[in-house]
Amino acid sequence: MKKRVKKTDGNRESGRRDFLKKAWMIIGAVAAAELAFFFISLLKPSKELKKSKPGSTVRIIGNIDDFIPGTVTPDRINKLFIVRESDGGFLALSLICPHLGCSVLWDDTKKQFDCPCHSSAFDRYGVVLNSPAPRPLDYFPVNLEAGKVKVDVSQKAKRRKFETSQMTYAI
Amino acid sequence: MKEATLRFNLTFGLGGMAALLVVAQVVTGLLLKFHYEPSPENAYNSIMNLQDSLLFGKMLRNIHHWSAIGLLWIVFLHMLRVAFTGAYRKPRHATWIFGLVLLILVVLSNFTGYLLPWDQLSYWAVTISTSLLAYVPLIGDPIREALLGGKEVGQATLTNFFNLHTGVIPLLLVALMAYHFWRVRKAGGVIVAEKDKDGAMVDTRPHLVNREFVVAVALLAFLFIVSSLFDGPLRERANPSFSPNPAKAPWYFMGLQELLIHFHPFFAIVVFPLTVLIAACWLPYIRLEDKNQGIWFLSDKGIRSAKFSLASGVVFTVLFIGFSELLPDPELLLPSVTSLITKGLIPFAILAATLYFFLQYIVRKFSLNRSEIIQSVIIIMIVSYTVLTLTGIFFRGAGMNLMWPWQV
């Protein structure tokens, strides 16, 4: 088959062709970028679903007087423990082990949290006693209002160590 | 096609078996989809209902379950066959790379399917396996949250996994399988030894077709028998606030979970798997001088060094696990040094050095060529992962403590 020879006298022709080629490629790249953006935002967890009921993430765990000082009470529905210190302070700890996500259990005889998956252990402030947990148990800020213990479950916070500011005291 | 490729113990028909099981999964999967409901509230019930109220419902689920396990094994064995007959070299290098992609897709398919029953086994296995992802620096957390559709395993996770399992992955599998088969034909069919390269040619129909048919029917019969005798597991309904003790990842990830017990997460989740992946992709491009492909284990020296490497791999890994168990925790000995070094870099360096000296030793002992060295490395990696996996499954009980299998 005879090879088609490119017209050399058509400088304006090939210039236009090159320009159009480039333009198509740029448009194609923009389309690909838009598709990628759409795909990624499809995969992102829907923020709208979470915002639909603004007040619902604040949960009432119980009455302040229900929690005896010096005890640890589990709340399996909200996935946390309420630790009430002997001086009356509240600390809400997540029951999710920071190692690989298993649910920790409170051992009242040893006074520590134990993870059934890889034997991580935490003291009553959630500080790591035994590896492989890489950091202390996450905590939730506690709000004491009208005699009730309230926890905003969307405010789970990581920490490097325990600080007394993480505890909440009734006025 | 070349007559020499008809020999059963050249390939054991593994590729064909894999293709058959993929088809079996699609068919049984489509049937299951008529009954399964992908929501945390109803998933478990829909499966209980299928098993108990529908005639052959349990059988259908069992076939899907055992076929899934069989598929994973068969593609793994197929990969081994290709590796040990040297069929990854040019012109089959791209076939090997795409084969690796297919392997990853099969593992992902098994993993996404694992969550769907929403029982205690599924929920926690997926929780742990995706938490492993979070240890990958920078990209780990975003990928985990995209996969889970949130911060924890929930409805969004089930939606994502169901879509991946019944839509995205099957489509990719079919497309890539087609390309994989085409590449095999383009390379002239299954690999044969140098001496058989210009051997006799025979018609595909009836010679290959009949053999493939017999293997397929035998495999299906075996699958049906197993499915009628043994049930797929279904524990109690998933309880997000209560982890079973011990909580284990699916069996093919147990090696990784075991490795996590001994190493800092960055090494167990990133360094080791990445090293293996890079090595596997690099494999077809290594320049090899010998012409031993198409022969199992390449040569007589190859067979002997392979056996030696197998035994050494088992012994070394068992010793490693034993030492790791008996030695005091480095984090308690040297709390000031980051565990990234004491439980990461240092043991990794020790293992790399051991491997290096071992290879030097066997090269001299057996006078190995490059292909045979590669073979030994492959065997050692597979054997050590196998030992780790078996330890994780059978020798780890409550609290993931080491114990005898009957105590687990």
Which residues of B are less than 8 Å from A102 in CB distance? 124, 127-128, 243, 247
B132 part of a folded domain = yes
Which residues of A are less than 8 Å from B261 in CB distance? 118, 132
In chain A, which residues touch B (CB < 8 A)?
40, 43-46, 76-77, 79, 95-96, 99-103, 114-119, 131-132, 134
Which of B120, B131, B153 to probe by mutation at the A interface, max A CB count within 10 Å? Answer: B131
B402 part of a folded domain = no
User: Structure tokens of B407?
Assistant: 């105590």
Alpha helices in B252-366 (DSSP H): 254-262, 265, 272-282, 300-326, 330-333, 339-340, 346-366
ipTM of predicted assembly, 2 dp: 0.71
The single-letter code of the amino acid at A119 is: S
Q: How far is A12 from chain B (nearest CA, A)?
A: 43
Can you tell me the distance from the alpha carbon of B221 to that of B227, in angstroms, rounded to the nearest whole number? 10
Number of folded domains that form chain B = 1
Q: What is the mean pLDDT of residues B173-178?
A: 96
Can you tell me the distance from the alpha carbon of B225 to that of B63, in angstroms, rounded to the nearest whole number? 9
| Residue of chain A with shortest Cα separation from B402 | A118
Q: Does B245 touch chain A (CB under 8 A)?
A: yes
Own/partner pairs for A101-107, CB < 8 Å, 24+ apart?
A: A101/B127, A101/B128, A101/B130, A101/B131, A101/B152, A102/B124, A102/B127, A102/B128, A102/B243, A102/B247, A103/A79, A103/B240, A103/B241, A103/B242, A103/B243, A104/A137, A106/A72, A106/A74, A106/A81
Can you tell me the distance from the alpha carbon of B150 to that of B84, in angstroms, rounded to the nearest whole number? 43
Can you tell me the distance from the alpha carbon of B199 to that of B37, in angstroms, rounded to the nearest whole number? 55
Among all chains, which residue has been given the structure tokens 């040019």? B90
Give percent above pLDDT 90 in chain A.
20
pLDDT-derived band at B219 (thresholds 50, 70, 90) equals very high
Beta carbons of B243 and A77 less than 8 Å apart: no
pLDDT at B133: 84
Which residues of B are less than 8 Å from A40 in CB distance? 146
Q: How far is A127 from chain B (nearest CA, A)?
A: 15
- CATH number of the domain that B190 lies in? 1.20.810.10
B49 part of a folded domain = yes
Beta carbons of A100 and B132 less than 8 Å apart: yes
Q: Give per-residue burial for B362-383: e unless 16+ CB within 10 Å, then b.
A: bbeebebbebbbbbbbbbbbbb
DSSP state, residue B241: T
pLDDT at A53: 54
Beta carbons of A102 and B127 less than 8 Å apart: yes
More confident residue, B229 or A6: B229
State pLDDT tens for residues B269-294: 888 889 999 999 999 998 888 778 88
Of A95, A116, A119, the CB nearest to B241: A95
DSSP state, residue B396: B
Q: Give per-residue burial for A41-66: e unless 16+ CB within 10 Å, then b.
A: eeeebeeeeeeeeeeeeebebeebee
Can you tell me the distance from the alpha carbon of A131 to that of B171, in angstroms, rounded to the nearest whole number? 42
B306 part of a folded domain = no
Give me the domain span that covers residue B156. 3-244
Which pTM value belongs to this model? 0.84
- Chain A and chain B share a number of CB contacts under 8 A equal to 72
Give percent above pLDDT 70 in chain B.
99
For the CA atoms of B275, B278, B279, B280, the dihedral, rounded to the nearest 10 degrees, stands at 120
Main-chain phi, psi angles of A143, to 5 degrees: -120, 125
Which residues of B are less than 8 Å from A99 in CB distance? 131
DSSP state, residue B311: H
Which residues of A are less than 8 Å from B151 in CB distance? 45
Cα of B174 vs its chain's centroid, Å = 19
B164 part of a folded domain = yes
CA angle B118/B120/B123 to nearest 5° reads 55
State pLDDT tens for residues B309-353: 999 999 999 999 888 888 777 666 776 677 778 778 888 898 899
Which residues of B are less than 8 Å from A44 in CB distance? 145-146
Q: How far is B132 from chain A (nearest CA, A)?
A: 7
Which residues of A are less than 8 Å from B146 in CB distance? 40, 43-45
- Cβ atoms of B141 and B150 within 8 Å: the answer is no
B153 part of a folded domain = yes
DSSP state string for B44-80: HHHHHHHHHHSTTHHHHHHHHHHHHHHHHHHHHHHHH
B285 part of a folded domain = no
Q: Measuring CA to CA, how many Å separate B83 from each of B89, B94, B223, B295?
A: 9, 14, 26, 11
* Three-class secondary structure of residue B13 per DSSP: coil
Domains of chain A: 1-44 (no CATH), 54-166 (2.102.10.10)
Q: What is the mean pLDDT of residues B237-260?
A: 85
Of B146, B398, B399, the CB nearest to A44: B146
| Residue of chain A with shortest Cα separation from B340 | A134
Which residues of A are less than 8 Å from B339 in CB distance? 131
* Mean residue pLDDT across chain A: 83
Main-chain phi, psi angles of A84, to 5 degrees: -115, 115
State pLDDT tens for residues B11-24: 888 999 999 999 99
B64 part of a folded domain = yes
Main-chain phi, psi angles of B369, to 5 degrees: -95, 180
- Any bridge partners for residue A71, and if so which? A84
Beta carbons of B132 and A117 less than 8 Å apart: no
Can you tell me the distance from the alpha carbon of B145 to that of A50, in angstroms, rounded to the nearest whole number? 14
DSSP state string for B361-387: HHHHHHT--HHHHHHHHHHHHHHHHHH
Can you tell me the distance from the alpha carbon of A41 to that of A24, in angstroms, rounded to the nearest whole number? 26
